[in-house]
Amino acid sequence: DRRQELSNENVLVKVSRRQLEELSKNAKSSSRRSVSSESGPFNLRSEDPLYSNNSGKFFELTPEKNQQLQDLDLFVNSVDLKEGSLLLPNYNSRALLVLVLVVNEGKGDFELVGQRNENQGKEN
């Protein structure tokens, strides 16, 4: 049954903090295109916010601005919201993976919002 196949395609799995730490110990980019790539952490908030108003600040780092992100073909966003503010999610519908990190009172949780097969949506 086709409906059964579709329902099994995008299964979300909850990963414990310990499992996530174990996975990240030896994580490397499989798409390294240059040896000049910097490695290590970076401070997303060291740049000016892309948008800023009375409700908060929106920071974005793109592959054009950071070599590490070019190697991973990745965009990184961060939002600081003031109490009582609301952010409506927006994401690129052509993205292969949309992952959200939600931090509340110092505790972070990763949430997989959507995953798409690379061949999905391509014209024949």
Task: Give the pLDDT score at 35.
Answer: 38
Strands (E), 1-116: 51-53, 56-61, 76-81, 97-104, 107-115
CB 59 within 8 A of CB 47: yes
Task: Give the pLDDT score at 83.
Answer: 80
What's the CA gap between 26 and 117, in Å, rounded? 25
pTM here?
Answer: 0.50
Task: Give the pLDDT score at 38.
Answer: 57
Strands (E), the chain: 51-53, 56-61, 76-81, 97-104, 107-115
17-75 tens-digit pLDDT: 787 777 777 665 544 444 334 567 777 888 889 889 998 888 888 888 877 777 777 77
Residue 111 predicted with pLDDT over 70: no
74-109 tens-digit pLDDT: 778 888 888 888 777 666 666 666 666 666 776 666
Task: Give the pLDDT score at 52.
Answer: 92
Token pair belonging to 99: 């992952």
Domains, in order of start, for the chain: 41-116 (2.60.120.1450)
Average pLDDT over residues 3-15: 57
Of the candidates 102, 98, 104, the one whose C-alpha atom is nearest the C-alpha of residue 116 is 98
